[in-house]
Chains A and B, each alone.
Chain A
Amino acid sequence: MIKITFVASDGERREVEIEEGETAREAALYNDVPGIDGDCGGVCACATCHVHVDPEWIDKVGRLMHDGMEADLLQFAEGTTEYSRLACQIPMKPMLDGLVLHLPEQQY
């Protein structure tokens, strides 16, 4: 099992566990972490699982690729930064054990 900590916009931290191969989106939804909607079902089609990767983890997770669907969708999301990613596009692997993801105020 791999650990992820979700930090809500009010600072509240939730540590959850997820199996290798699942995504950060599933980690939130399976554990009822509020703040991730994931309307489309995890297929990179709606941008309602927007997270800010903790700066310390961004190189391990990988930065947003600038010429793909994820970037096409995130450009319309609110409050994006250089650390923005869609949680459905972050597959969990052992090197991400302990990952910290910050949640935006709202998803839409």
Chain B
Amino acid sequence: MDSQIAEPDAAARIASIPIEEIDVARPSLFQNDTIGLFFDRLRAEEPVHYCRESYVGPYWSITKFDDIMSVDTNHKVFSSEAKLGGIAIQDMHSVEGALELEMFIAMDPPKHDQQRKAVTPAVAPSNLQLLEPIIRKRAGEILDELPIGEDFDWVDKVAIELTTMTLATLFDFPWEERRKLTRWSDVATAAPETGIVESYEARREELIGCAMYFKTLWDERINEEPKNDLISMMAHSPATRDMPFLEFLGNLMLLIVGGNDTTRNSISGGVLALNQSPDEYAKLDADPSLISKMVPEIIRWQTPLTHMRRTALEDWEIGGKQIKKGDKVVMWYLSGNRDESAIERADQFIIDRKNPRHHLSFGYGIHRCMGNRLAELQLRIIWEEIHKRFSRVEVTGEPERLFSNLVRGITRLPVRLRAR
């Protein structure tokens, strides 16, 4: 099991909750990492589950791999449209004073298709290979600065640094100010109860500041020759260059959040997983060529985004349950990624699986993560560079997790390095 249960009788307590009272939307379940036990129950007893009452209102949970796949690939029935609530369990438009960002992840065809097509070439593998040497060099510099044989927080010193560095490289963002990207990513997904922002008003102001900053970069790039960075590509593409302000900001935030939280938490999640499975760490040590197979397994294991949400546009049956037009439907990727009927020994972290990319972390269908090969590239480079330098990244204390039902985040991970 990957859950470190703080409360010893949690398993017994969770097993005794009446099934209809289970509410997997509570962020505390993700923070204390008991969520896996809830999903185990839903998959076994009621894989398509209706929660009548929660802080986000009523919603359906889809917990099995194949059912999730069937919702994700049926975009004609299951809408991502922001105005219907969007793509997360918490409605995008429900909170007064929040800035409503327009981004193609929360649009249906045809507008989704036009905008996605405009941005996709920026993360095409052939394009990214041009960035590989610079990402590798910068990753090496960050790792070379780390203390050996001394406790430090892996999240702050490595996961955030490396991810911010790659993001800054992708945007060709002013290097000295790159931590702004981290801050904006945190703010974009933050609700006041997380402590990241004080209020939705404060969040709105920071995001406007972000937009102004990018507007300046945009104005520079649009007057230069087209380059390989994401801002230049958006500034020069006919599909994106005349975007309204909120759409421009929304799509930028999508690229920042998409490339930040997810990769950051996969970097930390991989360290934790290897420490929890010492045999796998030994395998990696003996054969670093396994890194390219280990990377998708880390992404499955961590499932950095726990879910995506859709809204039913018509009545539809899944797993014998009748979903009604207008219902909120949540595809729990974190649960589907532990589904034994689709993934062999799904509850184990195994770095040399036969089909390691057969997981749900990137979603499927037209909204499938467009940065999926970029994510893998980054993680592969990082693990290759870690392997060259350190024989062990040893976890020396309990991890701390994010209070969020969407981002499966590790906020602190004490480690100690052993030099190779």
Binding site for B on A (CB under 8 A): 37, 39-41, 43-48, 69, 72-73, 75-76, 78, 105-106, 108
Interface check B126, CB cutoff 8 A = yes
Q: Which residues of B contact A39 (CB under 8 A)?
A: 357-358, 362
Closest B residue to A44 by beta carbon equals B73
Binding site for A on B (CB under 8 A): 69, 72-73, 75, 109, 113, 116-117, 120-121, 124-126, 355, 357-358, 362, 364-366, 368, 370, 372-373
- Secondary structure of the A contact surface, majority rule: loop
Closest A residue to B376 by beta carbon equals A108
- Taking a contact as CB atoms closer than 8 A, the residue among A43, A75, A105 that contacts B117 in the complex is A75
Q: Which residues of A contact B116 (CB under 8 A)?
A: 76
Q: Judging by beta carbons under 8 Å apart, are A40 and B120 in contact?
A: no
Q: Judging by beta carbons under 8 Å apart, are A72 and B109 in contact?
A: yes
Given A40-B364, A76-B117; 4 other pairs, CB 8 A cutoff: A43-B69, A45-B73, A45-B364, A105-B125
Q: Which residues of B contact A45 (CB under 8 A)?
A: 69, 72-73, 364-365, 368
4 tightest Cβ-Cβ pairs between the two chains A and B: A45-B364, A106-B125, A108-B373, A39-B357
Question: A28: shortest Cβ distance to chain B, in Å?
Answer: 13
Q: Judging by beta carbons under 8 Å apart, are A76 and B126 in contact?
A: no
Q: Which residues of A contact B358 (CB under 8 A)?
A: 39-41
Q: Which residues of B contact A72 (CB under 8 A)?
A: 75, 109, 113, 365-366
Question: B158: shortest Cβ distance to chain A, in Å?
Answer: 26
Q: Judging by beta carbons under 8 Å apart, are A37 and B357 in contact?
A: yes
Known: A39-B357, A108-B372. A78 touches B73 (CB 8 A): no
Q: Which residues of B contact A37 (CB under 8 A)?
A: 357
Q: Judging by beta carbons under 8 Å apart, are B117 and A108 in contact?
A: no
Known: A45-B72, A76-B366. A108 touches B357 (CB 8 A): no
